[in-house]
Structure 1
Amino acid sequence: MKPVLILQHLHQDGPAYLARWLQARGRRFEVFNTEAGQDFPDTVDGYAAMAVLGGEMSANDPLPSLRHAERLILDAIDADVPVLGHCLGGQLMARALGAKVVPSPAPEIGWHPIRVVGPAAATWFGDSPEPVVFQWHYDAFELPPRAQLLASSGACPHQAFAVGPHLAMQFHVELDDAKLRAWVAAHDERFLAASHAPTVHDGPTMLNDAGRRLRLQQALADRVYARWLAFADTASGRP
């Protein structure tokens, strides 16, 4: 069985719940972390699926690793290897497919509801019309050609889109408790500058009822990850 490829940009933005989900199902995966000095692979050949994680940089920053990730995204799409983008990863998917990444109408940090859009969204996100997910972004993606909008919010009109089996999300379904607490403890100047916005939560608010919120979001992540890998299994000829 081919492994899953995971592209990581920063030490503090690892696969977290995604890694645990894959391990629980016996799915092999390989993580390449550019901050650790690991170059991304040259190709997606030999991989069943690809996940692209987040990071505090902008998708528009002139970093060779970001352009490398975009090339791999296009490589995967051309090869029918399902791609899943988390926050920055979703923005890189949008850029690779020809859309712009621009400042978000409002920054979103903390637990915020999204509105699922259209019947196709339920196949990814379930029956709840407004699931609450964890956000941490200052930029947002526009929709690429042929993309299907799946989720929106008042602060950010494009929260998720799909192009066939490939899903881009503006939010962090891979979050777990350790990652949440590390992020809350590591506020940067940009966070402090945005902290006046009503869509930016402080640390205690982000941690309040975190156990219940994480359980609900991880149930949503279970559905997202299962559908993503189901596309990979179908493409590989497995039932």
Structure 2
Amino acid sequence: MKPILVLQHEATQGPGVLLDHLEKNGLCYQLLMSPLEGRAPVLARDYSGIVVLGSDHSVNEDLPWIVCEQALLQDAVQRHVPVLGHCFGAQLLARSLGAKVQRSPYPNIGWGQVWSSPYAQRVMGLPRRAVLFNWHYDTFQIPSGASRTLYGPHCLNKGFGLGPHWAFQGHLEVTADSIRQWCDHGRHELAQVYGPAAQDADHILLGLDQHVSTLHLLARQTYQRWTDQLLERSGFARTQIHMPSLYAGQ
């Protein structure tokens, strides 16, 4: 089975619980920091799947590495290589599919409730209601042919699915430690945000362990469903995978 490409963009926004899932299941992966490289791979055929994590940047910025990542996702869609997008990654997948990404009416920062569609419950195994961790200012339109999977009270489009390509306008991968780091790194930002979907650091960290524990149940279920697709496409059964992880820098 070819490695899974994981595209990371910020030092504080790593793959977290996703990495735990890949290593626990013996799935090969390659972790790449596109902004440091100034580029991303161009050919999706070299990977069994592509994961795109969050970023402090907007997908509408004209940066070389963002242009490269968008071209990679467009190639992945054409070649039917499954894509999994988190926040920035979800927006980039939407944009790669021709959908518009624009400023949301309200910043979405902190814990927020979402509801899942019957499609998401059936295909992704998502519960009818869940609480996600958010940190985003932009929102995407649902691409043509895709199905909305998650929606929220202050941001309608919180997720979509198009065949094996899944997008989450939120963070499933975060850990308690990474959220603390985000709050510390963004303390000045948190002091200035406002709106019905923006929380300060005190509210974000209140009951953190319980929030993260519940979120991880959802994340593991979602990651298992998504990587099962990769195994099926590669002709492997889950119990047949015993390959060492491939880790390529941070």
In 2, Cα distance between the equivalents of 1:185 and 1:144? 35
In 1, Cα distance between the equivalents of 2:222 and 2:143? 21
Q: TM-score, normalised by structure 1?
A: 0.94
Q: 1:187 aligns to what?
A: 186
Judge which range, 139-148 or 75-84, deviates more.
75-84
TM-align CA RMSD: 1.6
Q: 1:120 to 1:41 in 2, by over 3 A?
A: same
The answer to whether the 8 A contact 2:191-2:200 is kept is no
Paired residue secondary structure (1:131)? strand
Paired residue secondary structure (1:45)? helix
Q: TM-score, normalised by structure 2?
A: 0.90
Identity %: 34
Partner deviation per Cα, 1:44-86 (whole Å, 9 max, x = no partner): 2221111000101111011111111111111111222110000
The answer to whether the 8 A contact 2:95-2:101 is kept is yes
Q: 2:244 aligns to what?
A: none
Paired residue secondary structure (2:71)? helix
Matched, 1:2 2:39: no
The answer to whether the 8 A contact 1:108-1:136 is kept is yes
Q: 1:131 aligns to what?
A: 130
In the TM superposition, what are the counterparts of 1:1-239 in structure 2 within 5 Å? Answer: 1-37=1-37, 39-117=39-117, 119-123=118-122, 126=125, 128-187=127-186, 190-194=189-193, 196-239=194-237
Structure 1, unpaired ranges of 5+: none
In 1, Cα distance between the equivalents of 2:190 and 2:71? 30
Q: Structure 1: which amino acid aligns with 2:57?
A: M
Paired residue secondary structure (2:185)? coil
Tell me the CA shift for residue 17 of structure 1. 1.3
The answer to whether the 8 A contact 1:112-1:132 is kept is yes
Tell me the CA shift for residue 127 of structure 1. 5.5
In 2, Cα distance between the equivalents of 1:124 and 1:177? 28
Tell me the CA shift for residue 189 of structure 1. 5.2
Tell me the CA shift for residue 237 of structure 1. 2.1
The answer to whether the 8 A contact 2:102-2:139 is kept is yes
Paired residue secondary structure (1:114)? strand
The answer to whether the 8 A contact 1:32-1:38 is kept is no
In 2, Cα distance between the equivalents of 1:22 and 1:147? 26
The answer to whether the 8 A contact 2:7-2:51 is kept is yes
Q: Structure 2: which amino acid aligns with 1:158?
A: N
In 1, Cα distance between the equivalents of 2:128 and 2:45? 37
Paired residue secondary structure (2:191)? helix
Q: Structure 1: which amino acid aligns with 2:224?
A: A
In 1, Cα distance between the equivalents of 2:124 and 2:200? 27
In 2, Cα distance between the equivalents of 1:127 and 1:93? 20
In 2, Cα distance between the equivalents of 1:230 and 1:37? 30
In 1, Cα distance between the equivalents of 2:109 and 2:188? 14
Structure 2, unpaired ranges of 5+: 238-250
In 2, Cα distance between the equivalents of 1:23 and 1:103? 36
Q: Structure 1: which amino acid aligns with 2:46?
A: G
Alignment coverage as a number of residue pairs: 237
Paired residue secondary structure (2:98)? coil
In 1, Cα distance between the equivalents of 2:126 and 2:91? 25
Tell me the CA shift for residue 238 of structure 1. 2.4
The answer to whether the 8 A contact 1:32-1:39 is kept is no
Partner deviation per Cα, 1:133-190 (whole Å, 9 max, x = no partner): 1000010111110010111011100000000111011000010122111101012655
Judge which range, 57-66 or 184-193, deviates more.
184-193
